[in-house]
Chain A
Amino acid sequence: MSFVRAAWLVVRKDVLIEARSREILYTTLFFAVACVLVFAFGFVNEGRPITDAAPGILWIAIAFSGTLALGRAFERERQHETLRALMIAPVDRPALYVGKLAGILLLLAMVEVVIVPLVALLFHAPLFTRPLLLVALLAGGTTGFAAVGTLFAAMLVRARSRDVLLPVLLYPITIPVIIAGVRGTAALLQADVDVPMARAWISMLVLFDVVFIVLALWTFEPLMTE
Chain B
Amino acid sequence: MSLDFHSLALTGVTRTFGRRRALHKVSLRVEAGELVVVLGPNGAGKSTLLAIVSTLLAPTGGDVRYGDYTSAMGAALRARIGLLGHDLYLYPELSPAENLRFFAGLYGIDRVEERISMALDRAGLSDRRDDPVAGFSRGMRQRLALERALLHEPRLVLLDEPFTGLDDAATDALVGRLRQLRASGCLTIVVTHDLDTVDGVADRALLLHRGRLLDVANEGEPLRERYRAALAHAPQPAAGRL
Contacts and interface: CB of A to CB of B under 8 A. Distances in A.
Interface of A: 1, 5-6, 9, 13, 16-17, 20-21, 80-82, 84-92, 225-226
Interface in B46-82: 51, 54-58, 75-79, 81
Contact of B75 (A1, A16, A21, A82): A1
Contact of B107 (A16, A17, A81, A89): A89
A81 B145 CA distance: 12
Given A9-B102, A88-B56, A226 B51 contact: yes
Contacts, number: 75
A90 B78 contact: yes
Given A17-B93, A80-B87, A80-B90, A85 B103 contact: yes
B89 A226 contact: no
B25 to A, nearest CB: 20
B32 interface: no
A28 to B, nearest CB: 17
B98 interface: yes
A23 to B, nearest CB: 9
Contact of A84 (B56, B77, B98): B56
Given A13-B102, A85-B103, A80 B88 contact: yes
Interface string B96-108: 0010001101111
Contact of B54 (A16, A21, A88, A91): A88
Nearest to A77: B91
29 contacts: A1-B75, A13-B91, A16-B94, A17-B94, A20-B93, A20-B94, A80-B90, A80-B91, A81-B88, A82-B91, A84-B83, A84-B85, A84-B87, A84-B89, A85-B83, A85-B103, A85-B148, A87-B56, A88-B55, A88-B56, A88-B81, A89-B106, A90-B75, A90-B77, A92-B75, A225-B57, A225-B58, A226-B57, A226-B58
A36 B121 CA distance: 52
Contacts of A91: 75, 106
B129 to A, nearest CB: 15
B91 A90 contact: no
Nearest to B84: A85
B185 interface: no
Given A84-B85, A84-B89, 12 more contacts: A9-B105, A13-B94, A17-B94, A20-B132, A82-B89, A84-B56, A85-B148, A88-B81, A89-B78, A90-B76, A225-B57, A225-B58
A90 B83 CA distance: 12
B51 to A, nearest CB: 7
B93 A90 contact: no
Contacts of A9: 102, 105-106
A133 to B, nearest CB: 38
A3 to B, nearest CB: 10
B92 interface: yes
Contacts of A13: 91, 94, 102
A225 B107 CA distance: 19
A82 B149 CA distance: 12
A207 B93 CA distance: 38
B192 to A, nearest CB: 18
A1 B1 CA distance: 10
Nearest to B76: A90
